[in-house]
Amino acid sequence: MTVEGADGRRYLDCLSGAGTLALGHNHPVVLEAIRRVLDSGAPLHVLDLATPVKDDFTTELFDSLPPEFARDARIQFCGPAGTDAVEAALKLVRTATGRGGLLAFTGAYHGMTAGALAAGGDTAVRPGLAGTVQQPVRLPYPYDYRCPFGVGGREAARLSTHWTTALLDDPKSGIEPPAGMIVEAVQGEGGVIPAPDDWLRELRQLTAARGIPLIVDEVQTGVGRTGRLWAVEHSGILPDVLVVSKAVGGSLPLSAIVYRAELDVWAPGAHAGTFRGNQLAMAAGAATLRHVREQRLPARAAALGERLLTRLRGLAAELPAIGDVRGRGLMLGVELVDTTAEPDPRGTLPAAPGLAAAVRAQALRRGLIVELGGRHSSVVRLLPPLTMTDDQAEAVFERLAESIRAASAAALPPSARARPRGQGRSQAQVPPQAQAQAQPQAQAQAQARDALG
């Protein structure tokens, strides 16, 4: 988890290659797997040829998947990045259904190639692409803190499902039957927003009932990141297509789609990628999958993530600039808000992208690497390796807390710097999330210390 800069300073890396480094930098089991391939004299680039390394990787991958899904699944190796696998998934469902449309969600991120960009929700990253690809029908993703329906909670998820059902079933909606639906079980770049399990189950039911293939993008959530080997396991849903990359390559470029056999109607060669036979990545990926499973790292991620959430929520009760804390496993987000602005009717304050950038800079000065995401890049994201120790987790929390305090103090006018949380607002203006988290700070800190041992 620790890296050393050119200046000799050491940093705790909570970005981990955007989640690619499940085992951290240069883990011994990954290096040994790579060395074995290099020392064997075997070819490193084989396209579609079967090799022992490829067989080992495929076996490990399928063994890690929900058995009912893996039992009759097929795999397509793609280009080096997750976005290549998303393009393959979109091509697959369009080929299998003979339809062209797509259902996608607000806040989504699926990659930077044209089709994946169209499926994503960020219009700022796709200038000049208008008319080059078919745009999807955009559906509301349940985002409790900034609820698109203004209600939050279970009701927001229910309304999202209702809206989707109405669009699909209304003959006057203008929506033609789509080729598929693509969704993230936890939106990463969108701001670390876990999808409610019940909502995912409802999506699975409504798509299955209407013959719409469901694509689940697990590029960032896969391989134990959320506290299960695959994020779909929390809800128990079985997708039609699973998109995998990042950690599945053990730190090296690799992507693939795993899909139901009945979708396998495209001709041989209908999809390809020059680096789909990357032997070093397959060796590193197999070693990573095996180590994550044998060492029970998903359970470790779940426990350590819950401890960090407890600490961060205690910090949110102290610092008004923290609007929300959320996540699953070791995929965590801290949303920062503008405490000088007026809240919306639900008590939610506007995003604070400048403050978030200042927190990231303060963290770097303290030897902590974090990244930003979410609306207006106002969410500090934590994606530490699954091998993070208790001591490292404590250091991450302390450095982040110091960074938020320092950046918040610098951003406030002198007259407001000593104001306790909530002072100057009516109770109705205090965000409901903060009210739910409000408890005596000493008690929260004591519980967190106990949880971290």
Residue 148 burial (C-beta neighbours within 10 Å; 0-12, 13-18, 19+): middle
Q: Is the pLDDT of residue 452 over 80?
A: no
Task: Please identify, among 260, 294, 328, the residue that sits at the C-terminal boundary of a domain.
Answer: 294
Residue predicted with more confidence, 416 or 196: 196
Q: Give the angle 335-341-344 at the CA atoms, nearest 5°.
A: 75
For residues 284 and 52, the answer to whether their CB atoms sit within 8 Å is no
Residue 274: name the closest of 135, 142, 77, 434 by CA.
77
Same domain for 252 and 350, yes or no, is no
Question: 294 φ, ψ to 5°?
Answer: -65, -35
18 in any annotated domain: no
Same domain for 189 and 256, yes or no, is yes
Q: For position 7, what pLDDT does the model report? A: 87
Collect all residues with Cβ–Cβ distance below 8 Å to 337 and sequence separation of at least 6.
320, 321, 322, 323, 348, 349, 350, 351, 352, 378
What DSSP string runs through 280-322? Answer: HHHHHHHHHHHHHHHTTHHHHHHHHHHHHHHHHHHHHHH-TTE
Q: For position 425, what pLDDT does the model report? A: 38
pLDDT confidence tier of residue 414, bands split at 50, 70 and 90: low
C-alpha dihedral (65, 58, 94, 200), degrees to nearest 10: 10
Alpha-carbon Rg for the chain, nearest whole angstrom, is 22
Same domain for 85 and 175, yes or no, is yes
CATH of the domain at 47: 3.40.640.10
Task: Please identify, among 254, 274, 294, the residue that sits at the C-terminal boundary of a domain.
Answer: 294
Beta strands in 371-433 (DSSP E): 371-373, 379-382
Q: Cα(84)–Cα(392) distance, rounded to whole angstroms?
A: 34
Q: Which residues in 109-121 are b (16+ Cβ under 10 Å) and which e? A: bbbebebbbbbbb
**Tokens 């064997």 belong to residue:** 40
Q: Cα(285)–Cα(100) distance, rounded to whole angstroms?
A: 33
Of 78-82, 179-183, 354-358, give the lowest mean pLDDT range: 78-82
Question: What confidence tens digit (pLDDT) does each residue in 18-69 have?
Answer: 999 999 999 999 999 999 999 999 999 999 999 999 999 999 999 999 999 9
Q: Which residues in 345-370 are b (16+ Cβ under 10 Å) and which e? A: eebbbbbbbebbbbbbebbbebbbbb
Same domain for 86 and 204, yes or no, is yes
Bridge partner residues of 341 (DSSP)? none
55 in any annotated domain: yes
Q: Is the pLDDT of residue 438 over 50?
A: no
Q: For position 383, what pLDDT does the model report? A: 98
Question: 72 φ, ψ to 5°?
Answer: -125, 30
3-state secondary structure of 444: helix
Q: Which residues in 255-278 are b (16+ Cβ under 10 Å) and which e? A: bbbbbbeebeeeeeeebebebbbb
Residue 156: name the closest of 146, 142, 167, 138 by CA.
142
Same domain for 278 and 373, yes or no, is no
Question: What confidence tens digit (pLDDT) does each residue in 172-221 have?
Answer: 999 999 999 999 999 999 999 999 999 999 999 999 999 999 999 999 99
- Domain that residue 251 falls in: 28-294
| Total domains in the fold of the chain | 2
Q: For position 262, what pLDDT does the model report? A: 97
253 in any annotated domain: yes
Residue predicted with more confidence, 31 or 121: 31
Task: Please identify, among 261, 294, 327, the residue that sits at the C-terminal boundary of a domain.
Answer: 294
Same domain for 281 and 393, yes or no, is no
| pLDDT mean over 430-448 | 43
4 in any annotated domain: no
313 in any annotated domain: yes
What DSSP string runs through 11-22? Answer: EEESSHHHHT-T
Same domain for 322 and 175, yes or no, is no
Same domain for 317 and 200, yes or no, is no
Q: Cα(286)–Cα(299) distance, rounded to whole angstroms?
A: 19
CATH of the domain at 367: 3.90.1150.10
For residues 282 and 56, the answer to whether their CB atoms sit within 8 Å is yes
Same domain for 393 and 252, yes or no, is no
Given strand 368-369, what is the order of strands in its sheet? 2-4, 10-13, 368-369
For residues 320 and 416, the answer to whether their CB atoms sit within 8 Å is no
Q: Is the pLDDT of residue 444 over 90?
A: no
Question: What confidence tens digit (pLDDT) does each residue in 124-153 have?
Answer: 876 766 666 788 999 999 999 999 999 999
Same domain for 315 and 263, yes or no, is no
Average confidence score pLDDT of the chain: 91
Question: What confidence tens digit (pLDDT) does each residue in 291-345 have?
Answer: 999 999 999 999 999 999 999 999 999 999 999 999 999 999 999 999 999 999 9
C-alpha dihedral (334, 338, 342, 348), degrees to nearest 10: -10
Same domain for 181 and 55, yes or no, is yes
447 in any annotated domain: yes
Same domain for 165 and 46, yes or no, is yes
| pLDDT mean over 377-391 | 98
Residue 141: name the closest of 181, 170, 178 by CA.
181
Question: Which tokens in the block code for residue 336?
Answer: 């920062």
290 in any annotated domain: yes
Q: Cα(326)–Cα(406) distance, rounded to whole angstroms?
A: 22
Q: Cα(254)–Cα(54) distance, rounded to whole angstroms?
A: 12
Q: For position 436, what pLDDT does the model report? A: 46
For residues 188 and 220, the answer to whether their CB atoms sit within 8 Å is yes
Q: Is the pLDDT of residue 441 over 80?
A: no
Residue 167: name the closest of 190, 140, 148 by CA.
140
Q: Is the pLDDT of residue 242 over 80?
A: yes
Question: 375 φ, ψ to 5°?
Answer: -60, 130
418 in any annotated domain: yes
Q: Is the pLDDT of residue 433 over 60?
A: no
